[in-house]
Each structure stands twice: as structure tokens, then as C-alpha cells.
Amino acid sequence: MDSSSKEDGARAAPAANPLPASALPQGAAVYRLERLAVRHIGGTRALALQDINLHIAPGEQVALIGPSGAGKTTLLATLACAHQPDSGRFETFGGDPWTLSDGERHRLRARLFLAPQTPPLPPRQRVVTAVLAARLPHWSLWRALLSLLRPADPEAAFRALSRFNLGDKLYARVDRLSGGERQRCGLARLLLSTAQALLVDEPLSALDPALSQLTLNTLQQEAAQRQAALVCSLHQVDLALSHFPRIVALKEGRIVFDLPRAQVTEAMIAELYLGEQPPANSPHPHTLQDKLAVGACL
């Protein structure tokens, strides 16, 4: 089942330009994807995603799960307007970003934060400068250049890093960070953005269990505080089920289910990963129903 089937009533015609979140009509979606197809760029231009129906409201928190190669990263890149869809309907904040001029789309992207699995941080930069780069879309060229020499707001960078237990790395060089520290440094950038759609690709791949919990909690608190939509791809199915109220499962470029977590069964997870290596930290079959029961009460 996809989320579009949960909607009722006539759908509004797409607006030409994306609206600010504050101007979104009651119940409007941050994302509205209907029968969307996306092709890979270059090469054979094979279909990467097909028949994608997905509506995401402000403040919704969604976990994307599915086996390796299912299309999770491609979907996040599409939501970030980094990948132009091939066909179907794609709207964000009430408008189609691909009808905008390049400049308008660039401004729109400031409202969509994509945190890739491996953040592209300049290796020789100090962490403070790399984190403050999240504010570049809001700065003049002059202010941006000055900040390279003397960080404009190190306190803000410190506060963001501290929320990921990384405050002591404020003045470290990026290339001296471990993989997990780089990952959290990329996420600290997200906290300094003003984005209303937070798109996070496998944020836990280099983190231990305690840091994984901290990281998910921080991302979810931040999204809730700013009423942003949070879409997070995860290989840790148990954490997806225990943290996220809505689970979207992808396989071979299609959504195979889109459900409240309480409706996700052991059989659905087994089917999703059929023929794959078991996902990291997948719950023991006997504990899944317990987790779902607990999750349903949260």
C-alpha cells in the first residue's frame, strides 16, 4: 500500500512555485510524488525508481528501509531535487521544482537538506568551518569568505557538534576525524541549516550502538522542534521500527509497503530481505512482535 491511497478528496492542481512552509495550506504535503519514475544519469539510463507514490506532511518522520541497491539513496537524491524525475508528478512545498529557473531551484534547495552517507567535507578544513558552511546559502559572498578566515559563529557550531557528542572536535581538521566523527560532523551541519525537509542517508553506518541512539534521537528532536519532515534511510531495521512511526520499504526501485510501524509484520520484513544477507541488527523473529507492541504505544 502506498500513502496516496490514504488520501481522500480531490487533489489540488500543482502550484507553479513552491510555497514557504508557513504558507502551506492545512494538510498540504512537503512532498507529493505520484507514479514517479526516475532514471539513472548517464550510461544505460536504466530505471532506478518506478511507480513511486509518496506523500509526506510537515513534521512527519519516515524511515526508508530495503536491501542494498533498492533505490533508497536515489529516492533521497530525488527528494533533495538533485535528481530530475523521468515521469510522473513531483511536488515539494506545493510546487514542481523542475519548472523553476535554476536560481529559484537553488534557493529552494536551501530548504531541503540532504545528509549523504559520506559527507563531502573538505579534508583540510577545520571542523568549525565545515559545519558553519551550512549557513552559506544565507550569507553574502563577502561574509562567506570572511568566515573561511575567521569562523563567523563558532558557538553555534560548538552547540551543534555537542548534540552529537563531538564538541571537542570543533577545531580539529576534517581529515583527522574517524569515519563516524565525519558522519556526525555532516549531521551537525544539518542542525545549522534552516531546512524544512531533512533527508538523511544511512546516518548510522559508522556508529556504535550508543552513538546510533544518540544520533537518531537528536535528528528526531530537531525535526520535531522545527516541524520539518524527516526521511531517513536505515539498514538497522530494529532501529527503524523502534524510532520511526512510519516505515517505507523499497525493493528493486519500487515501494513494497508504506505503513505505520505497528502494521509492519515479521513476514513483511522477511519478504523484503528475501534472498539478501540479513540486514544489520535485524530483530530476532521472536522479539519483533514485542518491539512492535511497544512501538505502537509510543
Ligand X SMILES: Nc1ncnc2c1ncn2[C@@H]1O[C@H](COP(=O)(O)OP(=O)(O)OP(=O)(O)O)[C@@H](O)[C@H]1O
Residue ranges in contact with ligand X by CB under 6 A: 40-43, 46, 48, 66, 68-74
The nearest distance, CB 79 to ligand X, in angstroms, is 12
CB of 261 to ligand X, least distance (A): 20
In this structure, what C-alpha cell is assigned to residue 170?
570543533
In the bound state with ligand X, the residue whose beta carbon lies nearer, of 46 and 141, is 46
Q: What is the dihedral of CA 227, 228, 233, 236, to 10 degrees?
A: -20
Residue type, 277: Q
Give me the sign of the Cα torsion angle 141, 144, 149, 153.
positive
**CB of residue 32 vs ligand X: minimum separation in angstroms?**
21
Q: Report the C-alpha dihedral over residues 242, 79, 111, 204, rounded to 10 degrees.
A: 40
Q: State the minimum distance, in angstroms, from the CB of residue 22 to ligand X.
A: 32
Closest listed residue to residue 241, CA positions, set 216, 271, 219: 216
Bridge partner list, 38: 49
Q: Is the Cβ of residue 181 or residue 202 nearer to ligand X in the bound state?
A: 202
Q: Sign of the CA dihedral 267, 272, 277, 280?
A: negative
Calpha distance 161→59 (Å, rounded): 23
**Whether the Cβ atoms of residue 47 and residue 39 lie closer than 8 Å to each other:** yes
Smallest gap from Cβ 70 to ligand X, in A, equals: 4
Least distance CB 72 / ligand X (angstroms): 4
User: H or E element: which one contains 55?
Assistant: strand 47-56
Residue 102 identity: D
